[in-house]
Each structure stands twice: as C-alpha cells, then as structure tokens.
Amino acid sequence: MCGRLSQYRGIHDFVEVLSRPEVWRNHVGDQALQRYNVAPTTPVAVLRVDEEGPRADLVRWGWRPHWATDRAAPINARVEKVAHGAFFRAIWPHRAITPVDGWYEWVDEGGPKKQPYHIRRRDGRPALCASIGQFAGNEHDGFVIITADAQGGLVDVHDRRPVVFAPDVALEWIAAGMPSDHAEQIALNLGEPAEVFEWYRVSTAVGNVRNQGPDLILPTESRA
C-alpha cells in the first residue's frame, strides 16, 4: 500500500455501512470530508469503541513507539507480524476501523512517470480497513492500517493491500474485550478477497498532495 487514500464521504455515510444502532460520538463533523488525496501524517477519520461506546475521531495517519526515534512513523503494519512484534505491541490492543472510499497505488508501466491507480470496492460502499493506534488524546496519538499480501489481479497493482472487512467482521474487530489471539485470526483470515475490488488508472495529478477534487478519482480509461 503506497500511502495515499481517498476519504470524501461523511462520517454518517461510513457509520451507516456498519448498521450499528447506537449513537456514535462524532468528533469529526457532519459534513462530507471531501478529501480525495489524503497523505500520511495528516488527520484521517477513524471509527472505534472505548469504554463509553462507539466514536469517530480524526487521528494522525502514522505512529511509532516513543523509543523509535531513529525512523519515520510507519503508516502501515504487516498482518503477519503486527500481533507479535515489539514495535506495535503497545497499540495492538487498541483496534479501529479506517473507512476509506479508496486508495492509490503507483505502477511502473514504462512511461516517464509511474501510473497511479485508484482502488475501491466494486459495490460502491466504503472499504472498512483494519487499523490499530494510540488514542490517548495527546500529541503522540496516531494509527496505522494493517496490510496483507495482495491477491488475484491486485498483485499487478501492488504486492500489498489493506485488510478490508465486511461490516459484521468490522464490528467484531472493534468490539471491546476481544482476546488478542482471536483478533489476530480475524485479521489473518477474514479480509475481503480481491474480487470485491476494482482498480483503474487515474490522472498523474494525484501525485501532488496539494491537488484535491473529484476529478482525481475519475478513470482515464476503461476500468479493470
């Protein structure tokens, strides 16, 4: 996963997909996010559950433990290692869902620049990405998206993909009190398969993080 995503719908649209009846504490706002080119280190809307119930927050994309000052904060965590490695140990119990409209990958197709692709669900619903993070309400907060090996045709676009859950699995992922080993098995085995997604070429304008707008997600030719 190359570290750029789209998140242009509003929180109410994202929450509606989960079909959860409780009232979500919305710390993001009621308006559509209108972010078509979201870069790492910027605030991203995430959904999670704390001791008071479900909530939506804006959290910085990227996290590292306090002792890892020799490297940039990662934005992704590999599903094969995340539950057991020392790097993410402190935040593994703090699970969230990052609802995205899609994400971008860049492919070397022999041209002067790598060709960007936008990947999204074929059914038009948001992709509910498995995430973990620090949500203490201070300057050290951040989150990462969990990734797995790509499957099917997605391999041609990138060798990694976010772990995306169906709504019922997403709700189980963020449920309070889930044992760590069960959460690991969900992440390893219950991600949506490649056929759920479509991917297509988009304008190279997305390469500039300052560019925004719905034109960035329009296909430049027929979709995959």
The CATH number of the domain where 109 resides is what?
3.90.1680.10
Note if 105 is an active site residue.
yes
Taking every pair of C-alpha atoms in the chain, what is the biggest distance, in angstroms?
Answer: 52
Q: What is the pLDDT of residues 176-202, one digit of tens each?
A: 888 999 999 999 999 999 999 999 999
Residue 176 structure tokens: 């309070």
What angle do the packed helices 167-174 and 180-189 form, to 10 degrees? 160
The residue segments making up the domain with residue 11 are: 5-217
pLDDT in the model for residue 202: 97
Please check whether residue 40 lies inside any domain of the structure.
yes
Please check whether residue 99 lies inside any domain of the structure.
yes
Please check whether residue 223 lies inside any domain of the structure.
no
Q: What is the pLDDT of residues 11-50, one digit of tens each?
A: 999 999 998 767 899 999 999 999 999 999 999 999 999 9
What angle do the packed helices 11-18 and 167-174 form, to 10 degrees? 100
Put simply, whether the predicted model's pTM sits higher than 0.75 gets the answer: yes
Give the separation between CA 51 and CA 204, rounded to whole angstroms. 44
Note if 221 is an active site residue.
no
Beta strands (DSSP E) in the chain are 5-7, 25-26, 35-38, 43-50, 53-60, 76-78, 95-100, 102-107, 115-121, 127-134, 142-149, 160-162, 164-165, 197-201
Please check whether residue 10 lies inside any domain of the structure.
yes
Catalytic residue among 2, 16, 80, 172: 2
User: Based on the number of CB atoms within 10 Å of its own CB, is 77 exposed (0-12), middle (13-18) or buried (19 or more)?
Assistant: buried
DSSP for residue 24 = P
pLDDT in the model for residue 224: 45
Please check whether residue 48 lies inside any domain of the structure.
yes
pLDDT in the model for residue 121: 98
pLDDT in the model for residue 104: 97
Residues 6+ apart with CB under 8 A from 197: 119, 120, 121, 122, 127, 154, 164
Catalytic residue among 80, 105, 184, 198: 105
Digit-by-digit pLDDT tens for the chain (224 residues) are 678 999 999 999 999 999 876 789 999 999 999 999 999 999 999 999 999 999 999 999 999 999 999 989 999 999 999 999 999 999 999 999 999 999 999 999 998 999 999 999 999 999 999 999 999 999 999 999 999 999 998 999 999 999 999 999 999 999 988 899 999 999 999 999 999 999 999 999 999 999 999 999 999 974 44
Alpha-carbon distances of 35 from 133, 146, 177, 184, rounded to whole Å: 21, 21, 33, 31
Please check whether residue 53 lies inside any domain of the structure.
yes
**Cβ 194 vs Cβ 151: under 8 Å:** yes
Please check whether residue 82 lies inside any domain of the structure.
yes
User: Based on the number of CB atoms within 10 Å of its own CB, is 21 exposed (0-12), middle (13-18) or buried (19 or more)?
Assistant: exposed
Please check whether residue 148 lies inside any domain of the structure.
yes
Count of domains forming the chain: 1
